[in-house]
Amino acid sequence: GFFVFVLGYYFLREHYNPGYLAAVSQNEFGGRFIEANGGHGGYWDYYWNLIKKEHFGTWYWALPSSLFFVWFLANPKIKRALIFCVLCSLSFIVVISASKTKLLWYDIPVYPLFACIVGILVLQFATILSQFKYVNKQFALIALIIAFSIQPVHETFNFIKWQYEDLSKDNSYAVSY
């Protein structure tokens, strides 16, 4: 069924837009992946550095930590969800890292998976804390979210405040930022 829908889409697009398959072949199956287009090249760790330093920042520590906690998860559904998110995100990052063309936004689809990984990890911390006699699980969860979010919110506020001064003068990039 998957191949019927996917191939059907491509052939339907070719029917309505002649030359579509040639463009896909040139751009997706070869061009961008095999050689850097428009000077948008980078090293193999380009996306890992973006994730660590800019795009996921403060929460980066949670990604390798989640691999440690996966072995201690009692709930098999949550364990499978965590393994699924980790495998999908790792395979996606490996594929785009292998590509020669590297653009700032190519890693965007991986962040919802990262958010699920971090959410599962924070839930596990709250579950561990709730095992203490006087700690409520909901309270622990809210406290952890607030504690882990203070620094990223502060950094984002300072970045936006700093960017606003420069971007108010720049008509080209102000909207995108």
On the question of pLDDT at 110 being above 90, the answer is yes
DSSP per residue over 85-145, as a string? HHHHHHHHHHHHHHSS---TTTTGGGHHHHHHHHHHHHHHHHHHHTTSTT--HHHHHHHHH
- The better pLDDT of the pair 20, 33 is held by 20
3-state secondary structure of 51: helix
The pLDDT score that the predictor gives to residue 13 is 93
CB 78 within 8 A of CB 120: yes
The pLDDT score that the predictor gives to residue 68 is 78
Q: How far is CA 88 from the centre of its chain?
A: 10
3-state secondary structure of 15: helix
Question: Alpha-carbon distance 69 to 120, whole Å?
Answer: 10
The pLDDT score that the predictor gives to residue 87 is 92
Digit-coded pLDDT (tens) for 124-139: 777 777 777 777 778 8
